[in-house]
A and B are shown apart, each in its own frame.
Chain A
Amino acid sequence: MDLASIVYLGMTFGLLVIFVMIVVRTYSKKRKDEGEIAKYRMLDDD
């Protein structure tokens, strides 16, 4: 495996890790209310 392939593989893995972290954070029980509050707030302005 050459250097370019290793870099591509690393980038792909890095992106996957970031994505998993976003999903875990979004669905963490601690942040449930915080994660849903925007959908109620957007109805307030009218």
Chain B
Amino acid sequence: MENQTYNYAIVRSFVTWSMIWGLVAVLVGVIVSLQMVNPDLNFPPYLTFGRLRPVHTNAGIYGWGIGVIFAAFYYIVQRLCKVPIWSDKLAKFQLWLFNATITASAVTLLLGYTTSKEYHEMEWPIDVMVVILWVAFSINIIMTILKRKEEQMYISLWYMMAAIVGVAILYLVNSAAVPVSFFKSYSAYAGTNDANVQWWFGHNAVAMVLTAPFLGMFYYFLPKTTGVPIFSHRLSITAFWSLIFMYLWTGAHHLLWTPVPDWIQTLAMGFSIMLIAPSWGSVFNGYLSMNGQWHQMRENYLVKFLILGITFYGLQTLQGPMQAIRTFSAFIHYTDWVPAHIHMGTMGWVSMICFASIYYLIPRIYGRELYSIPLADLHFWLTLVGQLIWSISLWIAGVLQAGMWNAMNSDGSLTYTFMETMVEMYPYWWARVLGGVIYMAGLVIFIYNIYMSVKKGEPTAVPTITTEGRA
């Protein structure tokens, strides 16, 4: 068979490192949630909420999320193209540059070096590292696709290419800055232009990092897991192009009620509503792919992760457009509703697909069965319960907060002081800590299960994997 030279060693490495960064992200997340309920846990200058919070978000999005994307893409692209990756050396270089970049990001953020742009806090030398890293990855994936032996391009490959091109454009444009020292730069844009470019980047990082790659992974791992094809490939292609045409216009919905021109806000609001269609095109495609297979929700732990993942994606893509409407945004923006929304996406949609992907990959890249399916089931329930506690408590907190901020006395003065609204948040912030701890317990069980699978799992009946990680 032609698949005798597939490189799974690189997939293994990215799986391992993504889990390490995932644990760091969640651990720091729990710490910052504790800092919110107990300010004495801030240890200035390095371990304060202000410095740890971007470490949490960057480790989560770029360490965990992109780490799993690299692992899954290197596996999927070889399988779908029926050729090994174009360059093993380039992939290995990318792995070490990836870890160096995430480490440098964490260290510099703790030292207080930041551009202050959300999700793009790292200073310019790290931007350069990211660009080199992404170029190496892009070349390897695109060259593998160009040299493919399979004529048909499955939908996952389209999402891969969109993510590669999209991230490159977004990152380069938002990185434009004037360095004034080795660790300080100023944005090339000014005022509302800077804000507009930043949120064009910020929201489309959600599109090109947290949506497109994970839809590609979902479309690959769901049929592979259930053993039946997706409902409609043509629907997936149409939803893909709709998503690509619409997403890039939506960033300014983060800037409603700001000095950004009104027409840009309205445009972003309109396109955000329109995005429901392509998003739910993929959700329906996923659900309809389960026709006659719903029994697998009881029987196959992987299906549970994948279907709950796409369900949270569906909920996320309804709630997001709702928040992009001016009147609703006026109520909930700047409240705790917003992090609850984000965490339904990251802990629900993205991480569910990450977990499913790694569970799927382990037997195929190590040649060993999963150590314990009951532990995987327990992990699923801890993830689900932890995420729901996290998000629901903060949605309630957000509505309460907004209500208190907007409450006025008959003479037009505010009913509550800001401190009074803060005090009301404490029970919900404790609930968030609880949700985070439950979620982290699930993550620890997941990592233990993966570790034990590699060390003590039963050999699989699938093709032998060499010690060098080739199959």
Contacts and interface: CB of A to CB of B under 8 A. Distances in A.
A38 B233 contact: yes
A2 interface: no
B234 A41 contact: no
B227 to A, nearest CB: 7
A45 B227 contact: no
Contacts of A9: none
Interface of A is mostly: helix
A29 to B, nearest CB: 11
Given A26-B238, A27-B238, A45-B82, A39 B245 contact: no
A36 B223 contact: no
Interface in B152-189: 152-156
B276 interface: no
A42 B234 contact: no
Interface of B is mostly: helix
A45 B80 contact: yes
Nearest to A36: B233
B191 to A, nearest CB: 19
Contacts of A27: 234, 238
A38 B153 contact: yes
Nearest to A19: B245
Contact of B223 (A22, A26, A37, A43): A43
Given A35-B233, A45-B3, A45-B82, A19 B154 contact: no
Interface residues of A, number: 18
Interface residues on B, range: 20 to 34
Interface in B233-282: 233-234, 237-238, 241-242, 245
Contact of B220 (A19, A32, A42): A42
Contacts of B233: 35-39
B415 interface: no
Given A19-B245, A39-B223, A26 B79 contact: no
A4 B353 CA distance: 43
A12 B229 CA distance: 35
A40 B229 contact: yes
Nearest to B236: A39
Contacts of B152: 37-38, 41
A39 B241 contact: no
Contact of B224 (A35, A40, A46): A46
Contacts of B25: none
Given A26-B234, A26-B238, A27-B238, A41 B150 contact: yes
3 tightest CB-CB pairs across the interface, nearest first? A38-B152, A39-B229, A39-B233
